Amino acid sequence: MTDFFSPTYAEARKRFLKAAGTAVVTSYAHPLKGPDGGDLATDLVRLGPKDARRVVVVESGTHGAEGFCGSAIQLSLLHEPPALPSVTAILLVHALNPHGYAWVRRVTEDNVDLNRNFLDFSKPLPENPGYDELKDALLPKQWNEASLAAARETLEAYRAKHGERAFVTGTGGGQYKHARGMFYGGTQPTWSNLTVEKICKEHLAGVPHAALVDIHSGLGPYGYGEPLTSLDPASAEASRARAWYGEELRNTRAADSAYAGTEASIITGYTRYAPWAAWTPIGLEFGTRSREQVRGALRHEHWLHAYGDPKGPDAPAIKAALKDVFCPDEPEWKEKVIARGREIVAKALSGIEKQ
Ligand SMILES: [Zn+2]
């Protein structure tokens, strides 16, 4: 089997553009550079007719380094394109957050969790008192055994007192107060957010039916891709998604959800920027390592940028650990991801065909 997984953003981008062949490519250049001094961009390739009335958007790298996984699925789709129903196109959006992808970070260049950034910033910003209380435990200024043991105690005490749902929201639900902190949603639309607006205007104008498969990794069972929505279960979008993806679809805002659901996700972004389309948007989340391992790697890497030295001697190992929890370098995992990614895209195509 071809290995569609690339070791760096630069390599992934090169392979994606090459595999596009004669297809039309649109590149949105990012103003900053990658760690190798190379260019950064969000690249789009469209498969299918230009005037398609139904478009399935398949996107990678919303959470930067989670793009290793999504990029591989996109490359597989370019190498072996699925059969398209009539008047239907696939729009591959490669590396929506290219800065985070290239620097092996989940966040954007301005430390923003893009899936917390699609807010109406003219309104008061949401509060997250749980995060306010736990911020120093999540991100201790010193990273050593003693500080981590104290942090663990604080986190577990909070969980015991307030319950799992409050713990998930406090530790991952997004916050708008601490600009160096974790899961920071920002105070304005980031570059990647504004890029979504351009994509909608320039590539989805007037399209009556649109679907989104926004690919993530780092949560859930090993190699399994879970379809997710953050929309109101009573909405038309969520009920269409249930019809297409069945029982496996999870709502991140449900009371028993292990995910920190937020209304400020990219799903909200696409539906708001292209309100003329009837949307069926989902996130697709691939499990990798245990929750504890993923959380530990994320906190350590975030600490490196907030209080440590991202160019110091410890940095490569910390980055490698983060990459491992987003994209294990194991053939079994990779095979599952490609097969499942293609299966979900096939479901999106057969769902949208009935629209
Ligand atoms: Zn993610």
CA of 51 to the centre of ligand 1 (A): 31
Q: Give the confidence band of 263 by pLDDT, cuts at 50, 70, 90.
A: confident
Å from CA of 262 to ligand 1 middle: 12
- The residues that bridge with 216 in the sheet, in sequence order, are 285
How many A from CA of 87 to the centre of ligand 1? Answer: 31
List the alpha helices (DSSP H) in 26-172. Answer: 67-79, 98-102, 129-138, 145-162, 164-172
The pair of structure tokens assigned to 148 is 């981590």
Q: How far apart are CA 96 and CA 42, in angstroms?
A: 5
Model confidence at 261: pLDDT above 70: no
Closest CA to 114 of 91, 132, 96, 102: 96
Cα-to-centroid distance, 186 and ligand 1 (Å):
17
User: Over 80: is that where the pLDDT of 78 sits?
Assistant: yes
pLDDT by residue (tens digit) across 294-318?
999 999 999 999 999 999 999 999 9
Whole-number pLDDT of residue 91: 98
Distance 104 CA to ligand 1 centre (A): 13
The alpha carbons of the chain give a radius of gyration, in whole angstroms, of: 19
**Rounded distance from Cα 122 to ligand 1 centre (Å):** 26
CA of 154 to the centre of ligand 1 (A): 25
pTM of the model: 0.97
Tell me if 168 sits within 8 A of 219, measured CB to CB. no
Condensed to tens digits (0 to 9), the pLDDT of residues 220-235 reads 999 999 999 988 889 9
Residues listed for the chain: 355
Give tens-digit pLDDT for 40-54: 999 999 999 999 999
Model confidence at 98, pLDDT cuts 50, 70, 90, reads very high
pLDDT above 90 for 330: yes
Spell out the domains of the chain, with CATH numbers in brackets: 9-126+173-353 (3.40.630.10), 129-170 (no CATH)
Mean pLDDT of 251-260: 73
Least confident piece of the model among 96-100, 242-246, 251-255, 314-318: 251-255
**CA distances from residue 79 to 1, 4, 176 in whole angstroms, order as listed:** 12, 9, 41
Q: How far is the CA of 228 from the centre of ligand 1 (A)?
A: 11
Distance from residue 265's CA to the centre of ligand 1 (Å)? 10
- Cross-strand bridge partners of residue 287: 222
Cα of 234 from ligand 1 centre, angstroms: 24
Ligand 1 centre to CA of 65 (Å) is 9
The per-residue pLDDT for 88 is: 98
Instruction: Quick: pLDDT tens for 186-221.
Output: 999 999 999 999 999 999 999 999 999 999 999 999
How many angstroms separate the alpha carbon of residue 274 from the centre of ligand 1? 22
Nearby residues of 277 by Cβ (< 8 Å), 6 or more positions away:
204, 207, 208, 209, 210
Span from the CA of 292 to the centroid of ligand 1 (angstroms)? 16
Q: Measure 128 CA to ligand 1 centroid, in angstroms.
A: 20
3-state secondary structure of 94: strand
| 299-336: burial string, b at 16+ Cβ within 10 Å, e else | bbbbbbbbebeeeeeebeebbebbbbbbbbeeeebbeb
Distance 142 CA to ligand 1 centre (A): 26
pLDDT value for 327 = 98
pLDDT of residue 254: 74
* 232 vs 254: CA distance, rounded Å: 9
Ligand 1 centroid – CA 218 distance (Å) = 7
- Alpha-carbon distance 260 to 170, whole Å? 9
Which residues neighbour 267 within 8 Å (Cβ) at sequence distance 6 or greater? 212, 214, 229, 230, 231, 281, 282, 283
How does the average pLDDT of the chain come out, rounded? Answer: 95
pLDDT at 61 over 80: yes
pLDDT of residue 318: 98
In the reported structure, the alpha carbon of residue 46 is separated from the centroid of ligand 1 by a whole-number distance in angstroms of: 23
- Say how many Å lie between the CA of residue 206 and the centre of ligand 1: 29
pLDDT of residue 233: 87
Q: In the numeric block, which tokens belong to residue 115?
A: 């899936």
Q: How far is the CA of 97 from the centre of ligand 1 (A)?
A: 11
C-alpha 162 – ligand 1 centre gap (Å): 25
Q: What is the pLDDT of residue 255?
A: 66
Ligand 1 mean position to 132 CA, how many Å?
Answer: 22
